[in-house]
Amino acid sequence: MISAPGTDLSLARRILVTVAALVLYRFGCLILLPGVELTGVDPGLFADSVTAMSRLSIFALGLYPYFFVLVCVETIKLLFPAVLLWEASRAANREQLALAVRGTTLVLAAVQAWAIAIALEEVGHLVPETGFFFRAGIVATVVGATALLIWLSDQISRRGIGHGFWLLWAVPTLAGMMLRAGQILALTDAGAITSVSIAAGAAWLIGVVIVVVLIAKARFGHSLLHHHAGALSLPDSLVRSPMAFDILPLFIATVLCDMLASATGLLPLPDQGFSLAGVLYFALLAGLIASFAFLRGRADLALARQRGEMPDNHAMVRQASFTAAALIVISLTGKILFPLLPGVPALLVVILVAMNFVESIAAQRPARLPHVPQNVR
């Protein structure tokens, strides 16, 4: 059967663009930084992790500089709704903000690349020739690689399947999760983890998926793709962004809580057990999640009023309350009961990227025409 023009062919082209971008990203993770040599280095150092080699590659930073700048910008927009309204008012404003984000990302990448170069020089046998030219080469390479990743994410978003930024972000995260799953299975075989714990962890993961779907459906209705773009995050204010699926409060709260806990020393990151430090850490995390969830609801109200709509304040408060409660329960249960499982924010991104990927493919399929009997003229 011959497909109609622009249907299956368009979907195949989008899939090809997405696969090509992912292959290029993976290939870049195998290219060593200039001036770095592994001669004399124990190969076993790279045998325990599928992502260990990428830490010395041109994509050593990945999309972390971009992500950090995006989180900072989104936090500013939540704290100061006037910035969000300014961004949503005109396409030119969004373009200016996107340009500023990308420029700041490259500056941050340069600073981090310089720090990487200094750290590599202190590791014996990795850098035969140290000095300014080695550091400058690292900075130029990493900044160029970061710009390439930003470009690849844009190409996936515009010509591929799904949201490019989050898809590229999810790939190494998923690889790390697969490694963690292998470690859990090895511990199970050794008897360190019981089958009951495995079953409880699987039930928790299923529950997380169900809650994430409920949050997304409650916010956007029957489809995750059909909603207004005004409240969406950078980059490009595209409609396909998991950061718009109400996980932004969890990201910001987790980052701030971990930064405070690590920097102050008063709230050390808790391990297993119910120490005073752990109780304080979880209380702070829950309070930050709830605060940013309601700030997100306030931003949605401001955007709705800017569009001339009459939003239901009580409905939005209920939505924010449900989101805050769900994210708090997911985060605390994951950290307390299942510390060996992947981080909750990363897990939510993988789930939402998978949902978004499936819906993006479904949106590209040709709509079925209703069957008309031949005897109907």
For residues 352 and 245, the answer to whether their CB atoms sit within 8 Å is yes
**Nearest one of 2, 25, 88 to 303, comparing CA atoms:** 88
As given in the structure block, the two tokens for residue 26 are: 């993976």
Partners of 57 in the beta sheet? Answer: 32
For residues 365 and 11, the answer to whether their CB atoms sit within 8 Å is yes
Name which residue leads in pLDDT, 14 or 275: 14
Residue 169 phi, psi (nearest 5): -70, -35
114: pLDDT confidence band, cut at 50, 70 and 90? very high
- Local structure of 239: helix, strand or coil: coil
For residues 74 and 217, the answer to whether their CB atoms sit within 8 Å is no
CA–CA separation, 232 vs 226, rounded Å?
12
- Asked if residue 311 has a cis previous peptide bond (ω within 30° of 0), the answer is no
CA–CA separation, 42 vs 337, rounded Å?
36
pLDDT at 234 (0 to 100): 35
Residue 100 pLDDT greater than 80, yes or no? yes
pTM reported for the whole predicted model: 0.76
Name the class of domain 8-363: mainly alpha
Name which residue leads in pLDDT, 113 or 48: 113
Radius of gyration of the chain from Cα atoms?
23
Q: What number of CA atoms fall less than 13 Å from residue 318's CA on the CB side?
A: 7
As given in the structure block, the two tokens for residue 300 are: 């949605």
For residues 41 and 65, the answer to whether their CB atoms sit within 8 Å is no
For residues 249 and 292, the answer to whether their CB atoms sit within 8 Å is yes
Q: What percent of the chain has pLDDT over 70?
A: 73
107-128: burial string, b at 16+ Cβ within 10 Å, e else? ebbbebbeebbeebbeeeebbe
- The region of weakest confidence among 146-150, 185-189, 232-236, 274-278 is 232-236
- The region of weakest confidence among 117-126, 290-299, 318-327 is 318-327
Rounded-to-10 torsion of CA 339, 342, 344, 346: 160
For residues 249 and 296, the answer to whether their CB atoms sit within 8 Å is yes
Can you give the residue ranges of every domain in the chain? 8-363
Please compute the mean of the pLDDT values over residues 151-158 and round it to a whole number. Answer: 88
Averaged pLDDT of the chain: 75
Please compute the mean of the pLDDT values over residues 36-42 and round it to a whole number. Answer: 69
